[in-house]
Structure 1
């Protein structure tokens, strides 16, 4: 079970930005010779694909509503990536944590953190200005990169931080849900008000 903190942290990070996880771990494994990193993540083709997709996500993740559409597409991709990375870590290290169990932990954690990210972004998109999306996206990218690097050297502290962020994110989503409901209610009221101001002959004809 010694790899469980690393698997948990990589799962949390995969739910936020799976491409960043593969890219950071692969680069550290290839150039810093981190033995805990599976060789499959160090391959040139894997690093190139992860790098290209990371750049695309870095742009899409900062545009209001585009980020939510991107998150919707990745509802399947991020948990699968979290499970695959976790399985590779466990299989490479021959740890007592079985590959199937590792995949379940990594994929499950990735799914929860992905849902948290998606919920928070939906709430942020109710804001009339676009700058909050950019700031939150940058914070997420830095948090993912920072925690993955920390997990490679100090997995237990990284897992504790990831757990706190995950719990805090769930609470934030619960708060965000009420904000989304208010936003949808206000939009419905504005549409009803505009319809009420239309001339009577337009409503009839």
Structure 2
């Protein structure tokens, strides 16, 4: 499929926001998948996205591959995934912001500022949703949940990224979908963790109450 010669502002911001949100889940995988797609010709870049060609650089792809491999295994081990997420609390938002900046036409400084802010904010929200969901999953005593959730994130990241690049007109929809999912995960994780700690606090206080009554 040949990409269009130029894209509208909505499509450009949609792609930038989608890529940044997905980078909040899997920064290295997003960079690696984009580079591979460019080298293989799967993603023929429109004029406005030529600056992303740097992601197809062998050095960039090599670093991204190492990071993606480390993240692939770390993300499937209970509690190690939360440690990995904590370490990347700053890395993912910055990476998402820079990725969005690279997507936007440098001839439009105002649009670049908007994309930078949307990219950084979107990646931070996505990172928060992912980290919160993992904190909930880690409360489960069995380790299978981590691998299942992590694999689902891998598949969703690659699939949605391909969708945004291949069909720019739906990129904004992809961004809204990912954003809604991240906000939902944040709210859901907050409720579950609050309920969990509230019950733990009740169980801790209950024996003391019985002792006082006795």
Q: Settle same-fold status: TM greater than 0.5.
A: yes
Measured in 2, the distance between the counterparts of 1:158 and 1:83 equals 17
Q: Residue 63 of structure 1: SS of its match in structure 2?
A: coil
Aligned residues: 195
CA contact (8 A) 1:124 1:133 kept: yes
The equivalent of 1:5 in structure 2 is: 14
The equivalent of 1:137 in structure 2 is: 150
Q: Deviations over 1:105-133 (max 9, x none)?
A: 11111111111111111111111111111
Let me know the Cα RMSD of the aligned residues.
2.4
Task: Say whether 1:34 aligns with 2:44.
Answer: yes
State the TM-score, normalized to the length of structure 2.
Answer: 0.81
Measured in 2, the distance between the counterparts of 1:95 and 1:135 equals 42
The equivalent of 2:159 in structure 1 is: 146
Q: Deviations over 1:92-113 (max 9, x none)?
A: 6x56763222211111111111
Task: Say whether 1:51 aligns with 2:76.
Answer: no
Matches within 5 A, 1:1-205: 1=9, 2-32=11-41, 34-35=44-45, 36=49, 38-91=52-105, 94=107, 98-187=111-200
CA contact (8 A) 1:15 1:109 kept: yes
Measured in 1, the distance between the counterparts of 2:110 and 2:103 equals 10
Measured in 2, the distance between the counterparts of 1:7 and 1:167 equals 16
Measured in 2, the distance between the counterparts of 1:74 and 1:194 equals 40
- Structure 1: give runs of 5+ residues left out of the alignment: 196-205
Measured in 1, the distance between the counterparts of 2:147 and 2:197 equals 23
CA contact (8 A) 1:147 1:162 kept: no
CA contact (8 A) 1:90 1:97 kept: no
